[in-house]
Amino acid sequence: MEVSKALKLFLFLGFFVLLRISYAKRISSFTSISCSGSNKTLVISECYVKPVSEHQSGFNIVLDFLTKVNKLMIYYEFGAKLGKSFRTIAKGDDIEICRFYDGMTVGLMKFAMGMLEKFPKKALGPCPIEGHREFLNITIGKTDAKKNAPTANYSLFLRFHNGNDDNLASIKLSIDAFNVQD
C-alpha cells in the first residue's frame, strides 16, 4: 500500500515538472551589433547591445543626419546558423522606408516592425529625414505561437542607401532564440 502512495506522489509531481517544461517561454535576444556609417550623410554616434532583463538584451542606436535625406531605401539579409555557418533565409532590396511609413504594404517589413518592442512610431519617417534620431532599448517583443522562431542563432544585416549614397549606414545584428523556464 505504501508503494502505491509513493508512486502516486511521484506521478503527480512528475506531471507538474512536465507541464512546466511544456510552458517554457521562447525568448529572442540581441547578442551583438556592429554599425558603420558613411559620415557624409549621417553619423552613428552610439551603437551597442545592452541587457534589459535577466535573459534579454536590446540595442541602442543614435543617428545624426548631417544632410536632409529625401529618399531612404533598405537592403536586408536574414540568416540562420546551420552547422558552423549562417545560411540566408530571406533577403530583399529597394524597400523604400518613406513609402512604407506612408502606408505602402510590405508584409515582411510589417512582420519585423511588429516584433520589435519600444520601437518609436514613424521612427524613420516621414520623409525628408533630418536631425537627431534615437532608438533606445529596442527589444524583440513577445510573439504568439505562430511567430515563434525555432531555437537557433540568427543574423540580420541591414544596409540603408539612396540615390546619392550607396551606403548611408550598415547594421549587423546577432540574435539568439532560446527557451526560458519561469
Residue 128, phi then psi, degrees to nearest 5: -75, 150
Domain 27-180: which CATH class? mainly beta
C-beta of residue 61 within 8 angstroms of C-beta of residue 47: yes
Higher pLDDT, 7 or 177: 177
Place of cell 530583399: 92
Q: What are the sequence ranges of the domains in the chain?
A: 27-180
pLDDT in tens, 79-114: 999 888 999 888 888 778 776 665 555 566 666 666
Q: Computed from CA positions of residues 61, 114, 72, 154, in that sequence, does the dihedral angle turn out positive or negative?
A: positive
Which value, to the nearest 10 degrees, does the dihedral of the CA atoms of residues 177, 89, 167, 137 take? -20
C-beta of residue 26 within 8 angstroms of C-beta of residue 151: yes
- As beta bridge partners, residue 79 has 88, 155
What distances in angstroms separate CA 180 from CA 105, 140, 144, one per listed residue? 34, 15, 15
pLDDT in tens, 154-163: 999 989 888 8
C-beta of residue 140 within 8 angstroms of C-beta of residue 148: no
Kind of pairing, strands 129-140 and 152-161?
Answer: unpaired
d(CA 58, CA 51) in angstroms, rounded, equals 6
pLDDT in tens, 6-20: 455 454 445 444 444
Q: What order do you get walking across the sheet with 116-117 strand by strand?
A: 42-51, 57-69, 129-140, 116-117
